[in-house]
């Protein structure tokens, strides 16, 4: 089933060039991107239709992806609060329906050794405990929705150059000796014999925690369960503006104004600069391309020795993430265009196909059944925030996962629900909870949309540098 087969006739067309850095909002009732997940998830669950008239709510959640739906689910389940979820387009329309479905014991883009460098060992140990608890939250939700086709087993972090093995050995040592985590080093022969014959591989680090999922089926499970508990989910209801008067928030949508005592933003990589002042230019949206092949034949499975269904990434800064899906297709993703306007340029998908062929020469020329791209929410310090930026206002947000949101978004939603419900937990002293997203001073001059091209110039320079470092040095 393709995306167009489940698109109601009233939907507006999907905009492949949407760019959150320059657009005021992500659309109004737009259809899904043509992802494998959309094409195989089946018909979306029922929702509550667009906002039609003014209404009141105790809590409004903006965004109906993993974070928004899990926040609403935990608000209802653990606090008895029935939130109203506002979604600009369709349920789980953004990051949630466009990622690689990789759940890992991680959040943000920093390694555990970097946590120690930044915050010291004591804080790093507490943060590790929190991220592990977050992975347990994710595992428990996955167990509730087996239709999401979970593929447990762990995570392979594959060195694409010999020099990267020293990095992996050090990270493995830190994870074992400091955090008591059962990571281990695998030789190149062990990886190619027992897991997958990736031609890039020079060895790997194996982590025991990792689960691949069908992300849209999982999100649809969240949606069904939340609505069973009394949550209202309104698609095609973008927030066009928000005012706060006497501590009460008024969110304007095309169909009416929603009045709320608390608001939680869960818009990820699709956060527009005009959404709310607390989120203005607080993340750098980065595009990622993804594709899914046709099912591999038995001969192709033997030629690639694709025995594992574990989630896999490599050690490039502009990393590849990939895995074998339950129907024997290969999903692979990596970097994409700098801007939304350039995203449909076929050169970007060609680079991803080239990467697939480089890793697996036996798959050269294989048919690609699905291809798409989507925005990733990267914070300036590479770590997420689940916070209340102004303690005087009942406004909260959970964003900045940096590509590790599939699993940690579940726990972020739970923590944001606890904050909205007024709980004050010891965990909130951790840096991902006790500070707001801020841009370094050097970037303050380029925070507006007018200066977006200058930010993109810097990104373009960094991409060239990363490519040279990844492939040439």
> For residue range 167-225, what is the model confidence (pLDDT) as tens digits?
999 999 999 999 999 999 999 999 999 999 999 999 999 999 999 999 999 999 999 99
What are 319-346's pLDDT values in tens digits?
Answer: 899 999 999 999 999 988 999 999 999 9
One-character DSSP codes across 5-70: GG--TTPBPP-TT--TTT-SSS-SSBPPP--HHHHHS-SPPP---S--S-EEEEEEEE--SHHHHH
> Which residues have CB under 8 Å from 100's CB, separation 6+?
290, 311, 321, 322, 323, 331, 333, 406
Q: Is 176 helix (H, G, I), strand (E, B) or coil?
A: helix
The confidence score (pLDDT) of residue 10 equals 58
3-state secondary structure 95-134: HHHCCCCEEECCCCCCCHHHHHHHHCHHHHHHHHHHHHHH
Reply yes or no on whether the pLDDT at 2 is more than 50.
no
Reply yes or no on whether the pLDDT at 442 is more than 70.
no
Among 20, 24, 86, residue whose Cα is nearest residue 376: 20
Segment 262-282 shows an average pLDDT of: 93
Q: How does the average pLDDT of the chain come out, rounded?
A: 92
- Confidence band, pLDDT 50/70/90 cuts, at residue 439: low
> 151-209+288-379 domain in CATH 3.40.50.300?
no
Q: Where are the alpha helices (H) located in 47-111, listed in sequence order?
A: 66-79
Q: Which residues of 6-19 are buried (b: 16+ CB within 10 A; e: fewer)?
A: bbeeebeebeeebb
Parse the chain into domains and list their residue ranges: 151-209+288-379
The confidence score (pLDDT) of residue 4 equals 38
Q: Which residue has the tokens 């591989």?
A: 201
One-character DSSP codes across 430-442: SHHHHS-----GG
Other beta carbons within 10 Å of 347: 8
Rg (the chain; Cα; Å) = 21
The confidence score (pLDDT) of residue 464 equals 60
Bridging pattern class, strands 248-253 and 385-387: unpaired
Among 160, 398, 368, residue whose Cα is nearest residue 264: 398
The confidence score (pLDDT) of residue 25 equals 86
The confidence score (pLDDT) of residue 9 equals 43
> Which residues have CB under 8 Å from 135's CB, separation 6+?
103, 104, 105, 209, 407, 408, 411
**Phi, psi values for residue 29, rounded to 5°:** 70, 30
3-state secondary structure 353-375: HHHHHHHCHHHCCCCEEEEEEEE
Q: Where are the alpha helices (H) located in 203-345, listed in sequence order?
A: 215-228, 298-304
**Phi, psi values for residue 87, rounded to 5°:** -125, 130
Reply yes or no on whether the pLDDT at 248 is more than 80.
yes
- Confidence band, pLDDT 50/70/90 cuts, at residue 429: very high
256 exposure class (CB count in 10 Å sphere: 0-12, 13-18, 19+): middle
Which of residues 397 and 282 earns the better pLDDT score? 397
What are 124-133's pLDDT values in tens digits?
Answer: 999 999 999 9
Reply yes or no on whether the pLDDT at 454 is more than 70.
no
The confidence score (pLDDT) of residue 455 equals 67
Is the Cβ–Cβ distance between 137 and 179 less than 8 Å? no
Instruction: For the chain, give the longest Cα–Cα distance.
Output: 67
Question: Percent of the chain at pLDDT above 90?
Answer: 86
Question: Percent of the chain at pLDDT above 70?
Answer: 92
The confidence score (pLDDT) of residue 456 equals 75
Reply yes or no on whether the pLDDT at 473 is more than 80.
no
């Amino acid at each position: 089933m393709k995306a167009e087969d489940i698109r109601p006739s009233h939907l507006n067309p999907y905009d492949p060039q949407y760019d959150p850095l320059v657009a005021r909002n992500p659309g109004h009732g737009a259809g899904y991107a043509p992802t494998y997940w959309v094409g195989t998830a089946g018909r979306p669950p029922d929702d509550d239709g667009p906002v039609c008239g003014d209404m009141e709510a105790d809590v409004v959640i903006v965004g109906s992806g993993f974070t928004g739906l899990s926040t609403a689910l935990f608000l209802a389940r653990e606090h008895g609060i029935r939130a109203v979820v506002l979604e600009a387009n369709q349920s789980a329309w953004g990051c949630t329906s466009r990622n690689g479905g990789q759940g890992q014991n991680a959040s943000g883009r920093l390694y555990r050794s970097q946590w120690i460098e930044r915050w010291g060992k004591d804080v790093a140990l507490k943060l590790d405990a929190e991220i592990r608890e977050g992975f347990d939250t994710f595992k428990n939700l996955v167990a509730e929705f087996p239709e999401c086709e979970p593929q447990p087993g762990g995570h392979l972090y594959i060195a694409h150059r010999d020099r990267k093995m020293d990095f992996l050995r050090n990270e493995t040592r830190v994870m074992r000796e400091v955090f008591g985590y059962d990571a281990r080093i695998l030789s190149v022969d062990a990886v190619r014999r027992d897991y997958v014959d990736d031609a890039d591989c020079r060895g790997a680090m194996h982590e025991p925690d990792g689960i691949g999922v069908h992300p849209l089926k999982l999100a649809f499970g969240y949606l069904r369960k939340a609505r069973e508990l009394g949550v209202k989910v309104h698609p095609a209801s973008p927030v066009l503006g928000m005012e706060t008067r006497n501590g009460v928030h008024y969110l304007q949508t095309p169909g009416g104004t929603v009045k709320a005592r608390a608001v939680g933003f869960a818009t990820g990589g699709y956060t527009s600069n005009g959404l709310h002042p607390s989120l203005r230019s607080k993340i750098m949206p980065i595009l990622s391309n993804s594709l899914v092949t046709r099912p591999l034949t038995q001969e192709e499975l033997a030629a690639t020795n694709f025995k594992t269904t574990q989630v896999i990434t490599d050690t490039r800064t502009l990393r590849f993430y990939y895995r074998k899906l339950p129907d024997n297709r290969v999903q692979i993703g990596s970097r994409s265009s700098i801007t939304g306007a350039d995203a449909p340029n076929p050169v970007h998908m060609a680079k991803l196909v080239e990467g697939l062929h480089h890793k697996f020469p036996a798959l050269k020329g294989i048919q690609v059944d699905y291809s798409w791209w989507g925005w990733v929410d990267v914070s300036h310090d590479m770590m997420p925030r689940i916070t209340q930026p102004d303690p005087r206002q009942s406004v909260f947000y959970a964003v900045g996962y940096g590509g590790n949101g599939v699993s940690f978004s579940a726990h972020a939603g739970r923590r944001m629900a606890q904050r909205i419900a007024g709980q004050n937990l010891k965990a909130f002293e951790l840096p991902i909870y006790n500070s707001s997203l801020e841009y370094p001073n050097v970037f303050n001059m380029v925070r507006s949309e007018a200066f977006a091209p200058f930010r993109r110039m810097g990104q373009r320079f960094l991409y060239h540098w990363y490519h040279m470092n990844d492939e040439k040095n």
